[in-house]
């Protein structure tokens, strides 16, 4: 009887170890299949870009020189983006209060972007930067939508990341750091 109990215990431990090894192998494969989203690093210079407005005007980073700006990357096919548009109107007033311009950057063509923002993002400036025509989104490491990139007046990255939950907090932090809600205009260096 003792031999059977010893054998059963030993077999149970072998199964536990095999289970642990299989779990570690699965976790390793999952990590490789879903790499961490990389964002621009705080303090680095923002990459230049080329995009178009909904009016067909070509815009580059130079158009936003000497003033803080928050690019919010969205996609018309993204349900969380659709749900975030009303919140973006609130963030826009907060950003304006802090002297930051909030810009939507769509990864779709002009017609699809226009129907996406109509009625939901009225008054928000919109740039159109389809991935097949421009490297704007990949240069800003906006691999998912919605995501954001907050630049200071010197064109350096102050914050970047997926989602929009942190953007309001980052706007307040930047305004506080630069002397309050009225101290972020481009004249301050």
Give the Cα separation of 19 and 12 in Å (integer): 10
List, as one string, the DSSP characters of 129-176.
--TTT--HHHHTT--SSSEEEEE-TTSBEEEEEESSTTHHHHHHHHHH
Comparing CA positions, the residue from 136, 141, 145 lying closest to residue 116 is 145
What's the whole-number mean pLDDT along residues 146-171? Answer: 88
> Can you tell me the mean pLDDT for 171-181?
70
Token readout for 119 is 């009625």
The string of pLDDT tens digits covering residues 93-133 is 888 888 889 999 999 999 999 888 887 767 789 999 998 99
Residue 107 DSSP code: S
pLDDT, position 183: 40
Mean pLDDT, rounded, for 45-50: 94
């Amino acid at each position: 009887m003792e031999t059977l109990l010893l054998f059963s215990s030993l077999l149970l431990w072998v199964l536990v170890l095999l289970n642990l090894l299989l779990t570690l192998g699965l976790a390793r494969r999952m990590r490789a299949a879903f790499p961490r989203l990389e964002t621009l690093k705080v303090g680095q210079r923002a990459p230049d870009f080329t995009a178009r407005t909904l009016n067909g005007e070509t815009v580059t980073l130079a158009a936003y020189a000497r003033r803080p700006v928050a690019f919010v990357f969205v996609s018309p096919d993204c349900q969380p983006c659709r749900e975030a548009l009303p919140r973006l109107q609130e963030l826009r007033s907060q950003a304006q209060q802090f002297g930051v311009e909030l810009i939507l950057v769509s990864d779709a063509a002009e017609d699809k972007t226009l129907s996406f923002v109509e009625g939901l993002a009225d008054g928000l400036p919109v740039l159109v930067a389809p991935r097949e025509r421009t490297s704007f989104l990949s240069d800003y490491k906006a691999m998912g939508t919605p995501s954001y990139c907050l630049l200071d007046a010197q064109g350096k990255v102050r914050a970047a990341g997926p989602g929009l939950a942190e953007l309001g907090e980052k706007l307040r932090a930047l305004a506080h750091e630069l002397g309050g809600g009225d101290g972020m205009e481009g004249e301050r260096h």
